Amino acid sequence: MNTDDQYLIESVLRHIPVHLRHRPLFIGFSGGLDSTVLLHLLSRLYKTGTLTSLAAVHIHHGLLPQADRWVEHAEQTCRQLDIPLIVERIQVEPLGAAGIESAARKARYAALARYMKQGGGLLTAHHRDDQAETFLLQLMRGAGVRGLASMPVMAPFAGGWHLRPLIEIGREKLRSYALKHGLCWIEDPSNADLRHARNLVRHRIFPVLHTHWPQAEATLARAARRMAITEELLGDLGRLDLEAARSDQVNRLEAMALARLPDQRLFNAVRIWLIELGLSLPPEPRLAEIRRMLEARADALPVIRWPGGELRRWREGLYALRERAKHLDSTFTRIVHPDTVMDCPELGWRIIPHKTIGSGLRLKSIPSEGLVMRLRQGGERIRVVGQAHHQSLKNLFQASSIPPWERERLPLFFIGDCLVQVGESWIEASYFAGPDEPGLQIVLERLP
């Protein structure tokens, strides 16, 4: 094996952790130059037993007339290398202003995510030049440190890991390898379409940069690595600052502990917290509103909303929530059957009935058609198990410190006109299962 080949193979292997080398690995194989080289390198490691499970996944987007021929090319290439191939056919729906390119990427990764259930790895052929392009694009979008860190070598992905083992290799090295080994690849005509920002950067911007900075890609990729290190340090600082503010609820922080932080550390701590929760980040101007939110009166119920999430202040807590519909239909009604788990995305809950003995609702009291699930209208009352008198839901909610926005989406369960259960906590005493009676417990699980 010559020196260049050895360098590429060692670079790829260095970016595949030892614990993943014997797990199921999937390569996103488009058939283009980059993924063809990565597949060839991985096949060499596979044949020597260094990797014990490898398959290629080709995504058929159906966006171009050549798509069927590309499938045939992928099949031929994988057959020659003796690598199993999976072909996924997907439908791409444009995402409004984000455009077809963004929609295709989202649909592609959603399809690839299905193969991560076994806790393995997805390998993609992003390389150093891609990293430099991403850095420049993020810079022009006004991104912060996290955006400028661009693409990580390794990141969690759908229960497994997303690996980019070529991220330190330039495009020309990959082309030289492909020509040397007589590899065949496809050319996607959309890669020449200058309406796409990345293509404009690749074909127009970088040639100009090269006239003054021949190593522009390497320099920008190095800057991205430094941003990644900076982001890691900011994460460490943010988690230290969060320690004093955490509560027994992962989506709630103590407002007063946060308020003691200087502005920039406050904004950074909240940013790290949102990342931990898997929420999208607000635009910078919205993040700057957090200080005013923390200084608001405890009963003011301030809220900051952005696409994908929201922050709410209530009493002494700051809450982070996923973006939800602002208004619910007051006539919302569902039927809950004792034997059926039901997802209710409008409310953000999964309704899980469990049959029991001596707890929950008395099973024989539940009509054959099931329970009626509705939302709070106002004025509801219930006599909770262990209490002598009926209480209003308003008093129960206040005494139990249930935030106002949770109250409006908490399912209420009825038999006829009688409220028999509130959420999963309060059951009408006259419908509670006796010690030896079959019962039905209703458990609420938050939807992701």
DSSP symbols for 374-404: E---S--EE-BTT-SS-EEHHHHHHHTT--H
pLDDT band, residue 378 (cuts 50/70/90): confident
Q: Quick one: 17 and 129 in the same domain? A: yes
With the CA atoms of 102, 107, 110 and 112 taken in that order, what torsion angle do they form, in degrees rounded to the nearest 10?
A: -100
Residue 301 has phi, psi (to 5 degrees) of 55, 50
For residue 283, the 8-state DSSP code is P
Residues 235-292: tens digit of each pLDDT:
999 999 999 999 999 999 999 999 999 999 999 999 999 999 989 999 888 888 999 9
Cα 204 to Cα 196: distance, rounded to the nearest angstrom: 12
Q: Quick one: 295 and 434 in the same domain? A: no
The CATH number covering residue 60 comes to 3.40.50.620
115 or 79, greater pLDDT: 79
Q: Quick one: 28 and 140 in the same domain? A: yes
Mean pLDDT of the chain: 91
Cα 353 to Cα 357: distance, rounded to the nearest angstrom: 13
Whose CA is closest to 61, among 30, 86, 89, 33?
Answer: 89
Q: Quick one: 34 and 172 in the same domain? A: yes
Question: Is 27 part of a structural domain of the chain?
Answer: yes
Range(s) of the domain holding residue 309: 244-322
Q: How far apart are the first and last CA of the chain?
A: 49
pLDDT computed for residue 97 by the predictor: 46
Q: Quick one: 8 and 130 in the same domain? A: yes
Residues 139-180: tens digit of each pLDDT:
999 889 999 999 999 999 988 999 999 999 999 999 999 999
Last residue of a domain, one of 303, 322, 341: 322
In this structure, the chain runs to a length of: 448
Q: Which two tokens stand for residue 332?
A: 């919302």
Q: Quick one: 35 and 179 in the same domain? A: yes
pTM over 0.85? The answer is: no
Q: Quick one: 338 and 317 in the same domain? A: no
The number of folded domains in the chain is: 3
Helices 3-14, 33-47: axis angle to 10 degrees equals: 90
Q: Quick one: 188 and 249 in the same domain? A: no
Whose CA is closest to 382, among 390, 373, 371?
Answer: 390
Helix segments in 277-412, DSSP class H: 284-287, 290-295, 393-399, 404-407
Q: Quick one: 194 and 249 in the same domain? A: no
pLDDT computed for residue 94 by the predictor: 65
Q: Which two tokens stand for residue 77?
A: 């290439």
Whose CA is closest to 347, among 418, 222, 447?
Answer: 447
Q: Which two tokens stand for residue 52?
A: 């014990």
The CATH number covering residue 253 comes to 3.30.465.60
